[in-house]
Structure 1
Amino acid sequence: MRPSIAIAGTSNSVMARCYAWVLSNSPDFDVVNHSRGASSSTVLPYALGKIDLSQTDFLVIDVLNNEENFVLLGQTTIEDVKNNLCSALDAAAEHGVVPIVLSFPRQNFLNRERVVHDAIKAYCRELGVVFVDMYEMVEDAVERAPVTVYKRSFFDGVAHIKRPISRLVGSRLADAIRRSFHSDRVATSDHALAFDRIEFCFPEPEAGLIERQNGFATEKIACLGVGESIGLMDSFDVVGIAFNSEMTDSVLSTDHEQVISLKGPDKAEGRELMTVILPTRFRSSRLTVTGEPGAKFEFVGYARHTDDRRARTRVARRSVLPVPEFDEQFKKDIALLAVT
């Protein structure tokens, strides 16, 4: 029997020929990938709304890369990131799914405080969850490189490590998952880390849904124009909105006249679907589309508090944890890849 891996992440998990490509193309694994680029940690409740955890052995989580910016800009908080993460860990533990948290570095946070990364790393250490620290990986590789190499050389743009380096990380991660899968059966423990449970709500069929696709995903979407609105579950705090950024160009208003401006990555010619899950915080029974005539909102769903405060977080683990080995040779190899 092959291990089943589910991936819930952002752009570092959807790039062509990245670490996820290594896992997906290995004959040793069955892989589903519900990552969405340009998103926040609210991609976790979204992805868990699509993943069948009863058929999953390992959950790979990659949600920290964009959160440093979102927290810095005041769009979300470390507490919200923790709630999204612990909700996923707890749901995974219920089905014996072992989590692996990846922290992909950002070039603009290499030499500055990383409050989200540091906080989540501390939580994972407390919970006994595998945390793959790629800031530390880059720093160690620079020190041990057989040639002169600069930290920025590891990156392709601000938010992504170079694909050959990502693939090498994927190879080591694959080895770690193989070792872990063949170890003793899964055990579940719980820890005194409280969290507010978050869940994702997809639009109801009564909203008149359409289906959009790209080469990676299919979404059922509620399409709204100016003056139209869609109902939400009342009396719950919303912490994230998912929308099709390719077809959305609008501003939303809430019951309390809070204005929400939605903006995703630049649109690509010929692409009809780019699901983005952005952090936000409001409470409202409806969202109404405002803006210029012709403005559109393609609604995929929203993440919300459930008013379910959990005093403890459950975690599933195996006797051999899936910790990738970043040994001396690995660090030399990625340093050489950085300069070629």
Structure 2
Amino acid sequence: MHLSVLLAGTSNSVLNQGFSWAFEHHSSIKFVNASLGSSCSANAAWVVATKDIENFDFVIIDLTNNDEHQYTHGHTSVDRVLNSIFTLVEMCAEKNVIPVVVSFPRVLYFEAKRPIHDAVLSACRRLGIATFDMYSVIERAFRCSVYPVAIDTYFMDEAHLKPVISRFLGYKLITILNEIKASGKVSSENVAQSFRRIIYNDFSNIAGSEGLVRESRIVAQKFSLLLLDRMYVSPINTAGDIVALHSNAAESCAGIYIDGKRAMGPNPESLGEKRWKLLSVIRPLPNPISASESVGIHIDDEKSLGEECKYEIAGIVVQSNTITEALKVSSTPLSNMEISNRFSFDILNELNVIAAG
């Protein structure tokens, strides 16, 4: 049985020979990786707008790792993250696709509160959405290990599992996805859940800007090049709050203002990632900006970065003012499950052997 999988994630889903590698190199899987490293859950809006979701059996949503970190620093909220997740979940239901929400862990949050993770998994359990809680898997493996391991033994750094660990978990998830697909026809139902849809607005062709295309191994993206001392005006397709910006952080060396309000400062990655030319990221605005029919945009000079003042923008994410009272959710007989609970002692022991080795 062949699977088709769309992966909507962040950096854990793009690391070389990591989680996505298990899908990319599986002979019976059609796979598309729509992940953007360093991004947030607002990436869901970009996936909905740019990917043909109906062509897949599953959409894997790995979008909470960075949100937890951004929430800790006051850059997002629980409601904004849930609105992003629900928007993608509903689109899956409309296209008869099964969503699977994956929570990649960070070392810090094994000992700290994780309100984003808890809120997302609680909502998914209540609504019957399949979840894969990697915190639970790592915690269970750690408790039963006969090897001298610590939590950080499973990690490459603070925010990323070791690629060999991620790849192992990817292979195990593939086995379970095959079981879910074999369990029956996809059905959908409306459940009581209020949320505000998030909508991606393409700004890659802003009037008066220079258009350009950047491409990497993972993604090809169009951008508008914004220059100093110019005002740009672009329409938006819904009234609401601008909650995130999609930009090329590696080539954006300016602060950006929307309707006269400071939206985001200069990106430090414009120095550290300059050699790559492309770091396509969707990041939350600490203070959302209300907008209706169009927005005016300009950038300011940031000489401290020592770079030419410019900004490469691909789009903005708007959280609609309209509150939707029901959420459409798709399922199969086996899809309402916590995938982490399917990991037996033998699998956890195998994971510990890999970690200790």
Same fold (TM over 0.5): yes
Q: Could you tell me the TM-score, scaled by structure 2's length?
A: 0.91
Letter paired with 1:277: I
Give per-residue Cα distances to partners, 1:109-142, cap 9 Å, x unaligned.
1111111001111000011111111111111111
Structure whose residues are more often strand by fraction: 2
Corresponding residue of 2:241? 237
Q: Give the match for residue 272 of structure 2.
A: 267
C-alpha distance in 1, partners of 2:331/2:182?
A: 13
Q: Which is further off, 37-46 or 254-263?
A: 254-263
> Is 248-257 or 151-160 further displaced after alignment?
248-257
SS at match of 1:101: strand
Q: Which of residues 211, 214, 239 is equivalent to 1:212?
A: 214
Separation of aligned partners in 2, 1:175 and 1:2: 12
Say whether residues 1:328 and 2:345 are aligned partners. yes
| Deviation sequence 1:295-323 (CA, Å, 0-9, x none) | 11000111102333210111111112273
Q: Which residue of 2 aligns with 1:317?
A: 331
Task: Name the CA distance, whole Å, in 2 between partners of 1:131 and 1:320.
Answer: 12
Aligned to 1:35: 35
**Partners of 1:12 and 1:58 in 2: CA distance:** 18
Alignment of 1:1-340 (within 5 A): 2-203=2-203, 205=205, 206=207, 207-233=209-235, 235-263=239-267, 265=269, 267-268=272-273, 270-280=275-285, 281-284=288-291, 285-292=295-302, 294-321=308-335, 323=339, 325-340=342-357
CA distance 1:78–1:233, shift in 2 (3 Å): farther
Alignment deviations for residues 163-210 of structure 1 (CA, whole Å, 9 cap, x no partner): 111111011111011111222110102211110011111125344421
Output the CA distance in 1 between the equivalents of 2:225 and 2:263. 19
Of residues 275-284 and 93-102 in structure 1, the stretch that sits farther from structure 2 once superposed is 275-284
- Take 1:232 and 1:154, find their aligned partners in 2: how far apart are those partners? 46
Write the letter of the residue equivalent to 1:90.
Answer: E
Distance 1:66 1:225, change over 3 A: same
Tell me if structure 2 keeps the 8 A contact 1:245–1:267: no
- Root mean square deviation, CA, Å: 1.7
- Number of equivalent positions: 340
- Show structure 2 runs of 5+ residues with no match: none
Distance 1:100 1:264 in 2: 33
Tell me by how many angstroms 1:46 deviates: 1.1
Partner AA of 1:152 in structure 2: D
Residue 5 of structure 1 deviates from its aligned partner by: 0.7
- Local SS of the residue matching 1:263: coil
Greater helix fraction, Structure 1 or Structure 2: 2
AA paired with 2:277? E
> In structure 2, the residue corresponding to 1:311 is in which secondary structure?
strand
Please report the TM-score for the alignment, with normalisation by the length of structure 1: 0.95
Separation in 2 of the partners of 1:230 and 1:43? Answer: 24
Over the matched positions of the two proteins, sequence identity in percent amounts to 25
CA 1:49–1:262 in structure 2 vs 1: closer, same or farther (change >3 Å)? farther
